[in-house]
Chains A and B, each alone.
Chain A
Amino acid sequence: MNFFTLLVAVLVSAVFVNNFILVQFLGICPFLGVSKKTSSAFGMGMAVTVVMVLATLVTYPLYQFVLVPLNIAYLEIIFFIFVIAALVQMLEKILQKFIPSLYSTMGIYLPLITTNCAILGVAELVIDEAQMLKALGIASMNLGVALLYAVFAGLGFTLAIVIMSGLREKMDKLRLPKAIAGAPITMIAACFMAMAFYVFTLI
């Protein structure tokens, strides 16, 4: 399988068919918490994508080349959560020191990302080899595919959260009954988005 086919397979699978938010329900907290404004939603999406790729870059080799040979694969949860927490902390410090402009737009979301299920979710999903091979329809799994999956999972997350923020900006201007204003109407908007994405699972 050449690179282009792989790219398309991963893109369709991670962004549309298995969209992290709307189909797999990973990262619902930021999806509802940080989707009031389009600009902040985009910032959150980008921050999640970056951390996702970096986390996969560390956790996938850690699992394959350290935990499995040492027969301590069952400790993966403890290792992964620590790697992610340390990574986020480091990224925050590096951005603060070297790219202050990016820090001011992205930095506020970084502490929230440690406890974001989407990051730990992608780290856990890519090590489940059988599941991944079935979802992507490929023969073997390696770090490159894992990273590609992380990139597109992050982009799928960004897509969903940006669409949601657009909807919420419009909804803020409406006069809604008190009972459904706030969380319930957001859930119902998410329901219609999920229905739209459901079409992709029929591919």
Chain B
Amino acid sequence: MPEYIEYKIEPPSTAKILHWKELWLYRELFYFFTWRDIKVKYKQTLLGFLWAILQPLFMMIIFTFFFGRALNIPSQNLPYPLYVFSGLLLWNMFSAGLTNASNSMVNNAAIIKKIYFPRLIIPVSSILVALFDFLMGFGIYTGLLVYYAQPVAWSAAFIWPLALILTVVATMGLGSWLSALNIKYRDFRYVIPFLVQVLFFLTPVIYPVSMLKYPFLQYILVCSPMYAAIELFRYPLTDAMPDIYFMTASLTSGVVFLFIGIFYFKQTENFFADYA
């Protein structure tokens, strides 16, 4: 039996919260958008899904060569390749998710103009695509752990998922915000790659924060919402407790961005079809 639905279409009111019920009703679309993007991404490629593994692997090799060997950057007593890969794994998820999400609304403009569904599905799905790549990369990561005979604390079982959730939160916040801004001001198309590049160097992906001599710089760095995620992700390996203040700063910025992002998105979503 079709569900009995009665709904109203009215001019948008300002105070509007997330429609969980509606999102649940459209839950299959999350799957279909993600599924489509993953399929399309690897269509007509010879290596297919292997690219999801090869990309971080190549990056790891390059960083190991330049930063680990040539510059001798400290790596919290981990083999440098492991140090870089653990950072890159989450970072790639963040940067790919952010880039995909930011462009997702513009890329799907044709659909937005013709069919209604909760718009939030689009940026969320593009982040789920990045999550898929993360899971592929994670397979390689476990391989590397075995290869380097790296001891891993048992706490990893809940710390790793927690780090992953923090990454998703960080990506969601900035991603939904930028995707909404991008549909109104196409300038953001050019800002995003630059932003991602800057954040890369502001996040301890390839070097530890402790390397920095000036505390002031450290404070700026830990405001990156990805700082907490990456530090947590490495914790079961290094057993070095991250600085509690740094962690709080990073977590706060992640949550603040999430609220700003979703709030701005919901504020503007009604008019996407008019701007797209």
- B and A form one assembly: no
A-to-B contact residues, CB < 8 Å: none
